Chain A
Amino acid sequence: MSALNILLVLATGIFLAGLFGVAARRTILMQLISLEVMLAGPALAFVAAGAHHGSIEGSAMFILVLGLAAAEVALGLAIYLHMRRATGGDSDAATRLRG
C-alpha cells in the first residue's frame, strides 16, 4: 500500500469521525466542532494527493477549503449563539422552532 493510500484512508477516517460526531451529538456546539473535523479530512486528502503528484493544486484546494471552513464557523457559531437563547443549544429542541 502506497503512502498516498494510507494518507487517503486516514483522511477518510478523520472525515468519518466527524460525520459520526455530527450524527451522534445533540449539542450544536459539538456538532460544529465535528463539522470542523469533517472538513479537516478532505483538506488532508487534497494536500496528500497534491504532494503525491507533485502539483500545487492540492495546496490551492486546501486554501479554498480553509475559506469555506472560516465562513462556516463564523455563521454556524453566530446561529448557535442565537439559538442558544431560544432553545438552549440543543439541536433536538430546534425542531420546535417557529416564527
Chain B
Amino acid sequence: MSWGVAIWAATVAFGAAILAVTRPSAVHALLLLLAALISLGVGFFAMGANFAGAIQLLIYAGAVVAVFVFVVMTVDAGDKAMAVEREMLRHAWRWPAFIVSLSVVPILFGIGGGQMGDGAPAPVRTEDLGLLLFGEWSAVTELITLLLIAGMLGVRHLGRALGPRLREREPE
C-alpha cells in the first residue's frame, strides 16, 4: 500500500470527524465517529503499521465504540433531545470556532518543505513492536497497565455509588 491511500483514508477520517462533532443526534455522531476510526485504521494499514491497524479496528472501533453504544442505549436520543441540542448548537459555535481557528495559525507556519516519501512505507514487524513494548519500554507499558487498573477501580466505585443514595434524591 502507499502514502496516497493513507492520505485518502485520513481525509475521510477528517471529514467524518468534523461531521461527528456537529451532529445534533448522539447516534449519528457515534456512527460518524465509527466511520472516522475505521478509515483511520485503513490508513494505518496503508502506512505499513499492520498491528496498529488491527488494534485500531478491533479495540478502538470495536470495544470502545461498543461501550459508547451501551451508554447511548440508556440515553434519550429522541426528537425532543435533538431539538434541544440543535438549539444549543445554533448559538454556541462561534467562540469555540474562533479559538480553534487561532490554533490553526502556528500550524500553517509549521508546514515546510520536504520531499514526498520514496515509494511505499516499510511495514512494521509486530515482533519488533512487542520487543520494544515489553523490553525497552516496559516501564511505560506498566504505567499504562496501572492507568487501566485505576480506571477499572474508578468505574467500579462510581457504579457502586449509583445505589440508593442518589435514588432517594430523585423527585419521582
Interface residues of A (CB under 8 A from B): 1-7, 9-14, 16-21, 23-27, 29-30, 32-34, 36-37, 40, 43-44, 47-48, 50-52, 54, 56-60, 62-64, 66-75, 77-82, 84-86, 89
Contact = CB atoms under 8 A, between A and B. Distances in A.
B59 A66 contact: yes
Contacts of B88: 25-27
A30 B17 contact: no
B83 interface: no
Contact of A33 (B14, B21, B116): B21
A69 B55 CA distance: 13
Nearest to A55: B124
Contact of A57 (B97, B132, B141, B144): B132
Contacts of A18: 17, 21
A54 B143 CA distance: 26
Contacts of A19: 96, 99-100, 103
Contacts, number: 234
B36 A14 contact: yes
Contacts of A89: 75
A78 to B, nearest CB: 4
Given A14-B14, A33-B20, A63-B133, A40 B40 contact: yes
Instruction: Give the interface residue-count category, chain B.
Output: 35 or more
A33 B147 contact: no
B122 to A, nearest CB: 5
Given A51-B47, A71-B151, 11 more contacts: A5-B111, A10-B10, A17-B20, A21-B22, A30-B85, A33-B21, A47-B44, A47-B47, A51-B121, A72-B151, A78-B155
B21 A82 contact: no
With most chain A CB atoms within 10 A of its CB, the pick from B6, B116, B137 is B6
A52 B97 contact: no
A70 B67 CA distance: 10
B67 A73 contact: yes
Nearest to A54: B122
Contacts of B96: 19-20, 23-24
Contact of B158 (A29, A50, A60, A79): A79
